[in-house]
Amino acid sequence: MTILQGCAQCLDSTRATPPTVQAAYRHAIILLASAGATLFIAGTLLLRRQR
Amino acid sequence: MPSTITPPEIDRHRISDGNNGHRPPTDKRTGGNGEGDGDNWNNRPRGHRGPHERISQARIGLFFALGGDLMFFVALISVFFVTKASGHFDAYDHFINSWLPTAIPSILWLNTIALLLSSVTAEIARRAMFREVDAMDEWFGLGRPVSYRAAIWLSATLALGLLFLAGQWVAWDQLAAQHVFFRSNPSSHFFYLITITHAVHLFLGIVGLIVALAALKFSRSLATRQVWVDTTVWYWHVMGALWIFLFLLLEFGQ
């Protein structure tokens, strides 16, 4: 329940921001997700190569 | 009855290379020719398979340590972009963005060149550690040509790294003289945050270089020296590449 409230609050506060800020959030999410995915894939490939 | 000699196993399994004669009957794997007497390092338990395994393990450890670091910097950059776009509404419902771009001191260009040069000298030192002829001499205890050459180039890297840090200090000093401080503006806040965080990481690299130089001087094991120089230089390269990205972000991303 607390998590859902947190999500709703976050969503509400993001919706209250101008489109430029929303775009910045979207870019940040893409940047973080792609960096994490790159690390995961590179780590997996590296470990497979070592075995 | 003529006496016959059974040829050794290894001679009966010579492999033709289809060109001129035969390949020598040697085992090309790490550890040489031995089988069954513990001489072949590939048959040893994990963690005891020689220098190649040690260097691989050190590189994997460094990769994951730097992976965590990379995520930290990516998070920092994400917040940079969000803060740059953010603002607040005033009493008249106008959106106010308080981001004022910070003029980057031009000394950062010189610092960047120094850091690029330091990466070149570090790479020369790293490659020197693996130069086969010299490494074999050193392995057999015939002097220390590898360590000597690597120490010269690592010292040059250390000097250039210190020059970079001194240059960063001058840049912060120049901004302070213009009354641009950590809390002056969201933009200056990020300038200091990014440059100081990178400088702390580079300082760790300098500590690594000093330890690698000490290892070159005092360590009796060539493998230990190679591991120290190799991992430190890879760390240094990553910090250099990271700085290029951060510098471009600060120079053109504001």
For helices B132-139 and B222-252, the axis angle rounded to 10 degrees is 140
Q: Which pLDDT score, from 0 to 100, does residue A19 have?
A: 86
Nearest to A43 among B63, B78, B82 (CB): B63
Domains and CATH numbers, chain B: 51-252 (1.20.120.80)
Q: Would you say residue A31 lies in a domain? A: yes
Residue A2, domain member (yes or no): no
Q: Considering its fold, how many domains does chain A have in total?
A: 1
**Rg for chain A, CA atoms, rounded:** 17
pLDDT at B52: 79
* Ordered DSSP codes for B184-235: T-HHHHHHHHHHHHHHHHHHHHHHHHHHHHHHHHH---HHHHHHHHHHHHHH
Nearest CA in chain B to A40: B67
> What is d(CA B121, CA B158) in angstroms, rounded to the nearest whole number?
9
| Within-domain flag for A41 | yes
Test A28 with B82 for CB contact under 8 angstroms. Answer: yes
8 Å CB contact of B77 and A31: yes
Residue A47 belongs to what domain range?
19-51
A1-51 residue pLDDT tens: 566 677 888 888 888 888 888 898 899 999 999 999 999 999 999 888 877
Q: Tell me how far apart the alpha carbons of residues B72 and A41 are, in angstroms, rounded to a whole number.
A: 18
- Please tell me the predicted confidence (pLDDT) of residue B1: 46
pLDDT along chain B (254 residues), means of 10: 51 51 52 56 69 87 93 93 86 83 92 97 94 80 84 96 97 94 90 96 97 93 91 97 95 87
Q: Do B67 and A43 touch (CB under 8 A)?
A: yes
Q: Is ipTM over 0.85?
A: no
A9 in any annotated domain: no
**Domain assignment of residue A8, yes or no:** no
Q: How far is B4 from chain A (nearest CA, A)?
A: 45
With respect to residue A25, please indicate whether it lies within any of the assigned structural domains: yes
Is A24 inside any structural domain? yes
Of B67, B75, B82, the CB nearest to A25: B82
E strand segments, chain A: none
